[in-house]
């Protein structure tokens, strides 16, 4: 069982401690030790997990209280605690929870009341699957270079272009799509709410990755949506995308933290049980050193994550620097922690079906999506340089 002593840190209130314990108990009862087993039909499993988490009330953390949620606004500490707990037990369960939040996040933060009323209660119940469509074939980390276009035609917008590596692509009920409505650069981007059954929106390709999750390339060919599908103001989409990531980037770090805690527990248990050279692995100084490094990195990551989340929840307008630090450090060190666990397991660590092997595949994408590690370092450096100017 993962260490929970950090819940006594001053970043948390009683409601957060209660949430973490309740989520852990639910995961142990409903997911158990099988969360990293191979999934047969990943699409069906994702839909089932969304309904299951919706029925249990966990997805209420993903939307504001006025539209079926638990908190007045999106509460980052709660989102992080949920992702950390789910990540410890199941990579796919974490994915489903995360995408419900991210996919509807722009709507929660910047959408109209009518848009929220139509979709957010369905997100909270697990009835509707959400997706966040930002990345394009030639525009990933550089959001300002988006090429997809939307032109106004009377009371409609006509969208043309492609999106790729879209999580929940192919199973989503609606997409938050960012596209160009103005000139070049960041100022010409807008966000649209596009139901999956809209004419002109097709799934061009399903994309398989090392940790099975539903991903797809979307194609929009003269896809017409009403003017009411515009989220917020025209040409404010870049600000909305960054505002959404500002909330959810810390939660990516929290998922990595959950993976790292699970790897640490698996490695410790293996080291205490595995006999070698007349003793156990845990008695060997080199293994003790690895376990100590795991513990240090996990605590440091947790401190960065919950500092960022606490700062956002207590009124900070933007936490780009803090969130970037948390995401960079937590995902990079989680990769190292999981690698150490694989090494301690030896041959079993690279055997398909073992928890360390599954964690090794799960963690790799977290160092890329919602801003690759290199992008996080750029964000941190720019903040540092602007402070010194």
Predicted confidence band of residue 196 (pLDDT cuts 50, 70, 90): very high
Average pLDDT over residues 153-175: 97
Q: Are residues 112 and 149 in the same domain?
A: no
Which of 128, 160, 195 delimits the end of a domain?
A: 128
Q: Are residues 51 and 114 in the same domain?
A: yes
Q: Are residues 162 and 252 in the same domain?
A: no
Among the listed residues 162, 370, 374, 387, the single catalytic one is 370
Is the distance from CB of 166 to CB of 216 less than 8 angstroms?
Answer: yes
Cα 267 from Cα 281, distance rounded (Å): 10
Which of 128, 155, 189 delimits the end of a domain?
A: 128
User: What residues have CB less than 8 Å from 302, skipping those under 6 apart?
Assistant: 6, 257
Q: Are residues 252 and 354 in the same domain?
A: yes
Q: Would you say residue 206 has pLDDT above 90?
A: yes
The parent domain of residue 209 ranges over: 131-235
User: CB burial class (10 A; 0-12, 13-18, 19+) of residue 284?
Assistant: middle
Rounded to two decimals, what is the model's pTM? 0.95
User: What residues have CB less than 8 Å from 210, skipping those under 6 apart?
Assistant: 361, 364, 365
Establish whether 84 is a catalytic residue. no
Which of 195, 214, 235 delimits the end of a domain?
A: 235
The CA angle 7-10-14, to the nearest 5 degrees, is: 60
Segment 51-98, tens digit of pLDDT: 999 999 999 999 999 999 999 999 999 999 999 999 999 999 999 999
Q: Are residues 153 and 280 in the same domain?
A: no
User: CB burial class (10 A; 0-12, 13-18, 19+) of residue 160?
Assistant: middle
Q: Are residues 216 and 99 in the same domain?
A: no
The CATH number of residue 300's host domain is: 1.20.140.10
Q: Are residues 337 and 357 in the same domain?
A: yes
Q: Are residues 150 and 227 in the same domain?
A: yes
Q: Are residues 189 and 244 in the same domain?
A: no
Segment 232-244, tens digit of pLDDT: 999 999 999 999 9
Q: Are residues 145 and 269 in the same domain?
A: no
Tokens standing for residue 63: 């939307």
Segment 35-52, tens digit of pLDDT: 787 777 999 999 999 999
Q: Are residues 212 and 286 in the same domain?
A: no
The CATH number of residue 107's host domain is: 1.10.540.10
User: What residues have CB less than 8 Å from 236, skipping those under 6 apart?
Assistant: 110, 190, 191
The CATH number of residue 142's host domain is: 2.40.110.10
Beta strands (DSSP E) in the chain are 130-133, 149-153, 156-167, 174-180, 189-195, 201-207, 215-226, 230-231, 275-276, 279-280
Of 10-19, 269-278, 312-321, 345-354, which range is least confident? 269-278
Give me the number of domains the chain comprises: 3
Q: Are residues 99 and 154 in the same domain?
A: no
- Residue where the block lists tokens 């796919």: 92
Average pLDDT over residues 244-258: 96
Query: Which one, of 239, 19, 38, 212, lies nearest residue 144 by Cα?
Result: 239
Query: Which one, of 296, 172, 297, 178, lies nearest residue 241 by Cα?
Result: 178
């Amino acid at each position: 069982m993962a260490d929970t002593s950090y819940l006594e840190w001053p970043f948390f209130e009683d409601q957060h401690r209660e949430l973490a314990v309740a989520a852990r108990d639910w995961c142990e009862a409903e997911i158990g030790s099988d969360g990293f087993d191979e999934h047969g039909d990943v699409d069906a499993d994702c839909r089932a997990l969304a309904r299951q988490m919706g029925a249990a009330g966990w997805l209420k953390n993903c939307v504001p209280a006025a539209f079926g949620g638990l908190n007045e606004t999106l509460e980052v500490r709660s989102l992080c605690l949920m992702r950390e707990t789910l990540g410890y037990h199941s990579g796919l369960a974490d994915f489903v929870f995360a995408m419900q939040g991210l996919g509807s996040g722009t709507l929660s933060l910047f959408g109209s009341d009518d848009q929220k009323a139509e979709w957010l209660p369905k997100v909270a119940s697990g009835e509707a699957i959400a997706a966040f469509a930002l990345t394009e074939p030639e525009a990933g980390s550089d959001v300002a270079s988006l090429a997809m276009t939307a032109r106004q035609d009377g009371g409609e917008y006509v969208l043309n272009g492609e999106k790729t590596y879209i999580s929940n692509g192919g199973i989503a009920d609606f997409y938050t799509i960012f596209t160009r409505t103005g000139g070049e650069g960041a100022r010409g981007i807008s966000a649209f709410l596009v139901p999956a059954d809209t004419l002109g929106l097709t799934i061009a390709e399903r994309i398989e990755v090392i940790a099975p999750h539903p991903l797809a390339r979307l194609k929009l060919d003269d896809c017409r949506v009403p003017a009411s599908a515009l989220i917020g103001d025209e040409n404010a989409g870049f600000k909305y995308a960054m505002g959404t990531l500002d909330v959810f980037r810390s939660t990516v770090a929290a998922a990595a933290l959950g993976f790292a805690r699970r790897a640490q527990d698996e490695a410790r248990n293996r080291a205490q049980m595995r006999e070698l050279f007349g003793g156990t692995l845990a008695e060997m100084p080199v293994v003790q050193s690895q376990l100590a490094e795991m513990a240090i990195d996990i605590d440091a990551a947790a401190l960065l994550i919950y500092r960022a989340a606490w700062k956002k929840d207590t009124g900070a307008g933007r936490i780009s620097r803090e969130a970037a630090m948390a995401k960079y450090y937590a995902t990079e060190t989680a990769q190292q922690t999981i690698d150490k666990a694989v090494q301690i397991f030896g041959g079993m660590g690279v055997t398909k079906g073992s928890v360390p092997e599954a964690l090794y595949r799960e963690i790799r994408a977290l160092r890329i999506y919602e801003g690759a590690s290199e992008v996080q370092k750029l964000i941190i450096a720019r903040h540092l340089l602007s402070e010194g100017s």
